[in-house]
Every structure is written in structure tokens, then in C-alpha cells.
Amino acid sequence: MALEDPVIAPEPQAAAAADGLPPRFACFVAGTDTEIGKTLTSSAMLYSLVRNGARACGMKPVAAGAVMKNGQLHNDDADQLIEASNVHLPQALTTPFMLKEPAAPHIAAALEVSKSIRCRSWRRMSKSPPPPMPSWWKAWAASACR
């Protein structure tokens, strides 16, 4: 082989993956309303991936209507995705925004921010003589701290 001979390099091959899936597979399930099957569809996909030997984990970025169980917030949809997964990551990664209010996420977030501000105001008022305020406002602010 001389320097002037053409060099034909082999074409790069993609790494083989099980069952025709690319080495890294990501899927985003979206819907425009509540209770239309996003979690059910996602869980079914996870179950199928896990059953076929893939390592899979579901994520629900924002979950509203969470309840406290064993000292940690839980949401039925997020828990369903965890049960269908075989890779278990911290909740801070799989459901970073866990909201207590059972409402659409944007409404639940606004309500929780409002409660946080109200609660801080109530705590401040409790430590120092509050300025003159209507009694309904005091009750409203105090209700956020429950």
C-alpha cells in the first residue's frame, strides 16, 4: 500500500441494542387533559420495556394531589410509574415537583406558593404586634400553616 492509495474506512456501526431499541431510548407521553390515560399508557410502556429486558424508569415531572405517607409525599400516578419501573431513582429526580393541592398543576403550584407566603406572614405576625388587619385576613393567613 502506497501513500497515494485511497483509504476506505469502514462505516461506523451503531451499538446493537436489545429488541431493536437504540442504546438510549427516551419517550415523552403528553396529553391535553387530566384522566385521559397518560399514566396508564406510560406504565404499560414501562412494563413492556422491563419485561423485554430493558432497564426503565418513569418520570412524572409535576404531580398534584400528593399525600403524606411514611414521612414522604406520594402521588398515585407517580407511585404507579415507580411500580412499573425496574430502575429506582430518588423522588427528587423522578417527580421533582410534588404538590399537595389536588388541582391542575399550574393551579396547585399557585395555591401552594400562596399558602407559603400566607404562612410566613402569619408566623411573622405571631412574633410581633400585627398591623391593623381585618379578622378574615388573619384567619386566611393562619389557615395556610395547618
Active site residues: 60
Q: Using alpha carbons, select from 91, 99, 34, 31 the residue that is nearest to residue 57.
A: 91
- The grid coordinates listed for 145 are 400553616
Amino acid at site 146: R
* Dihedral sign from CA coordinates of 46, 47, 48, 53: positive
- The grid coordinates listed for 85 are 419501573
d(CA 122, CA 130): 9
- Is beta strand 67-69 parallel, antiparallel or unpaired with respect to 72-74? antiparallel
d(CA 103, CA 80): 19
- The grid coordinates listed for 33 are 387533559
